[in-house]
Structure 1
Amino acid sequence: MEAHLSSDGPTQLHASYSGPFDLMDENTLSSTLSYEYALSAGSTLMADYALQRVKPSGLTAKTSHSAGLAVAFDLGATDISLQLSLTRDASDPGWSFDFSV
C-alpha cells in the first residue's frame, strides 16, 4: 500500500506511507516539505524539511530528520549560496549542524 500527496508551486509537500500487508507492524513513513521564496530579483530563500520513520516488524520505530535553509545570490557571472543544514538520526543524541558557502 502506498499513498502520495503532492502540490506544485513555491511550497511543495510530498508524503508516502508503505509496507507489506500488516501495515501496523511493519511500515515506512516518508515526507518532505520544501519552500522557495524570491527575496529580490537576484536572491532566493530556500527551506526544506524531511522526515523518515521506519518500523521494522517486531521492533521499535526509528525516526530521522533533516532540515535545511539556504539563501542564494545571483551576482551576475557569480552565484553565492549560504547554507545551513541540520540532521538527526534515530541513534544520534542530538542534532548535527553544517554551514557552507
Structure 2
Amino acid sequence: MLKISLIVAIVMFFVWMIAVGILYLTMGGMGVWSRINDTFSTLTSSPDVQAAGKTDLITAGRVFGVTAIVGAINIVLFTALATVAAFIYNAAAAMSGGVELTLGERD
C-alpha cells in the first residue's frame, strides 16, 4: 500500500502543480496579479519614496514555491495516512474474520 499511495500522491502532486499553473496564467492574463501588486505597493509605500525599490507581493516564484511546499507536505501526509488506514483495515478484518464468499455452480 505504501508504494501505491506514494505513486498516487506523486501523480496528484503534478496534477496540483498543473492546476495552479493554469489558474495563475489565467488570472495573470486577466490582470489580477498586477492590480494586487499595484494596490499592495500603493498601500505600503510612502509618498516620499520613489518606485525604484518596488517589490511585488505575488510573483510566479512565490506562487509556485508555496504550491510545491504544500504539494510536498500533501505527498507525505497522504502516503502516511493511506498506509496507516490500510494497516487498520487489515487488522480489523483479521479480528472480525472478514467477509467470506463461496461461489458454486447452479444445479
Q: Which has the larger share of helix?
A: 2
Q: Larger RCO: Structure 1 or Structure 2 (Cα < 8 Å, ≥ 6 residues apart)?
A: 2
- Structure with bigger strand share is 1
If you compute each CA radius of gyration, which structure gives the higher value, 1 or 2?
A: 2
Question: TM-score band (shorter)?
Answer: under 0.3
